[in-house]
């Protein structure tokens, strides 16, 4: 029902927030390198799933069993399998026997595109919240007893 709009949009803001945090972390580590034997940084990718929002069971007695309110939640984070960056730099103290330095597998371009996508969805969810607030306000003033 209507009150769930806020919960649904809120879950979207939470999820996009987690995604943007992951993107920030990835971008911060775009130039991270790993010494031989250490684990290099791999890009974190947040996976979303549709999930019933808290406080709305499939049958809440309101007769809306066909459409339990769904929201979105973070199902987990996976590490990207993209190939690690190898840079030939024999002078580096972190170079391996062949003179290569292993860096992260973060692609700056991919992360920036993801960030734009995420912020678009975030903005849309904020617009939904504003719209719901405006409609509720109009409804209340419509039924104001004068």
Partner 1 sequence: MNLGFLNFYNAVLGVQQQRASLLANNIANADTPGYKAVDVPFESALSSQISDPTSADSAPEYRANVTVALDANDVSLDSERVEAASNGEQMIGAATFLKQSTADLITALRPNPSGN
Residues near partner 1, by CB under 8 A = 1-2, 4-5, 8-9, 11-12, 15-16, 19, 47-50, 63-67, 69-72, 117-118, 120-121, 124-125, 127-128, 131-132, 134-135, 138-139, 142-143
DSSP state of 27: H
In the complex, what is the shortest distance from the CB of residue 22 to partner 1, in angstroms, rounded to a whole number? Answer: 12
Q: Which is nearer to partner 1, 71 or 103 (CB)?
A: 71
In the complex, what is the shortest distance from the CB of residue 36 to partner 1, in angstroms, rounded to a whole number? Answer: 36
- Token pair in block for residue 125: 């969810």
Q: Which is nearer to partner 1, 67 or 81 (CB)?
A: 67
Cα distance between the two ends of the chain: 28
| CB atoms inside a 10 Å sphere around CB 15 | 23
Distance in angstroms (rounded) separating the CA atoms of residues 15 and 71: 10
């Amino acid at each position: 029902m209507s009150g769930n709009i806020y919960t649904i949009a809120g879950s979207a803001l939470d999820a996009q927030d987690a995604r943007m945090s992951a993107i920030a972390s990835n971008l911060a580590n775009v130039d991270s390198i790993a010494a031989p034997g250490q684990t290099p940084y791999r890009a974190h990718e947040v996976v979303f799933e549709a999930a019933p929002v808290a406080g709305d069971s499939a049958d809440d007695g309101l007769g809306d069993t066909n459409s339990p309110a769904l929201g979105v939640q973070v199902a987990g984070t996976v590490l990207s399998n993209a190939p690690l960056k190898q840079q030939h730099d024999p002078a580096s103290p972190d170079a391996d026997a062949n003179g290569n330095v292993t860096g992260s597998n973060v692609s700056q371009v991919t992360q920036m595109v993801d960030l734009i996508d995420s912020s678009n969805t975030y903005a849309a969810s904020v617009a939904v919240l504003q719209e719901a607030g405006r409609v509720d306000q109009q409804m209340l003033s419509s039924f104001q007893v004068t």
